[in-house]
Structure 1
Amino acid sequence: MNLLLKGRLCYLRILTTEDAEEMVQLLLRNRTYWAIFEPQHRDSYFTAAVQREKILESIHQAKENREYSFGIFEPETDKLIGHISMYSIKRLPFLSALVGYSIDESYIGRGIATDAVKLVIAFGFEKLRLHRIEAYVSPRNAGSIRVLEKAHFNNEGLLREFLYINGVWEDHYHFAVLESEF
């Protein structure tokens, strides 16, 4: 599957098995930083073999129109600097999906995540013909909240004790953007 979305600050490309080693390096560089808001992973997660399997599964999911996992790449260097997924894609009567993303810590604050989210939203509304795209975000994650707001998501409320992260049940905001707001 060859899917490329070009933005102002980055481009998104469906990951291939050839990206597995670079994905491992991205994950290792950000292991501590991303663990603040994401569940911790076993050491085996940070191997090319596991990442290849995850990529193969995501390619299969994309062929079934159930999930799209993209690498976020820096245009000047083609370096993998993050990942973004549109997942839990539901057909009628919902026509909805969730979006989740992570950016390399050394690239935050540059508008890259916002650019990537806007690219995925356009893909969701224009190509997948979705009606609603949602995201969950920790109330402590001010940067990610700003990304969603800049991408025209609205905060629809607090989900109490929503995700179990690092031994604690964490609240999350529920954000969404509608096709009519795109």
Structure 2
Amino acid sequence: MNLLFEGKTCYLRTLTVEDAEDMVRVLQKNRNYWAIYEPRHRDSYFTIAVQREKIRESIYQARENREYSFGIFSHESNQLIGHISIYSIKRLPFLSALVGYSMDEQFIGRGIASEAVKLVTTFGFEQLRLHRIEAYVSPDNAGSLRVLEKAGFQKEGLLKRFLFINGEWKDHYYYALLEDDF
């Protein structure tokens, strides 16, 4: 299942095993930057073999309609500059999913992540026919808070000591966008 969504500053494309090397490049380049808000990964995570396997798994998950993972590509260079997923897809009675994303630090602050979130939520509401799309974000991650708010998400609450990141439990805000507000 090859999906492609075009935006003004970026496009989203289903990753293929051929993208594993580029994915490793982006992961290694942003390893310390992303580790501020995400759990640290073992060294093996940053290998082509592991990334190929993760991409294969994401292709399987898409076929099963459980999760869709995309590379975020720059229109200027056709370069992989991040990734975004719509995952934990639940059918009735929920009709909901979560969205998660990471951008190359070099490309933050340009509206690209906001556009990627809008593209993936459009897919979620229009093609997957979801009722609700949710996201978790660290209160300290001002950039990601802006991304979600620019994409129309609203803060619904605080999840105390929600994720174990780098040796401690961290609070996260709970954001959501409903189809009626989309």
Q: Structure 1-normalised TM-score?
A: 0.99
Q: Does 1:27 align with 2:27?
A: yes
CA distance in 2, matches of 1:100, 1:32: 18
SS where residue 51 of structure 2 aligns?
helix
- The answer for the alignment partner of 1:164 in structure 2 is 164
What does 1:16-165 align with in structure 2 at a 5 Å threshold?
Answer: 16-165=16-165
Deviation at 1:8, TM superposition (A): 1.2
For residue 77 of structure 1, report the CA deviation from its aligned partner: 1.3
Give the drift of 1:76: 2.1
Deviations 1:129-170 (A, max 9, x none): 000000000000000000000001000000000000000000
- Counterparts of 1:115 and 1:15, CA distance in 2: 18
3-state secondary structure, aligned to 2:72 = strand
The whole-number CA distance in structure 2 between the counterparts of 1:88 and 1:8 is 28
| Superposition deviation, residue 93 in structure 1 | 0.2
Equivalents in 2 of 1:100, 1:92: separation in Å?
22
Query: What is the rounded CA distance, in whole Å, between the counterparts of 2:135 and 2:90 in structure 1?
Result: 14
Which secondary structure state, in structure 2, belongs to the residue aligned with residue 37 of structure 1? coil
The alignment's TM-score, normalised by the length of structure 2, stands at 0.99
Deviations along 1:70-119, whole A, 9 cap, x unmatched?
A: 00000121100000000000000000000000000000000000000000
Q: How many residues align?
A: 182
Cα deviation code 1:40-75 (max 9, x no counterpart): 000000000000000000000000100000000001
Deviation readout 1:11-66 (Å, 9 max, x if unpaired): 00000000000000000000000000000000000000000000000000000100
Q: State the partner residue of 2:12.
A: 12
Unaligned residue ranges in structure 1 (runs of 5+): none
- RMSD of the TM alignment (CA)? 0.4
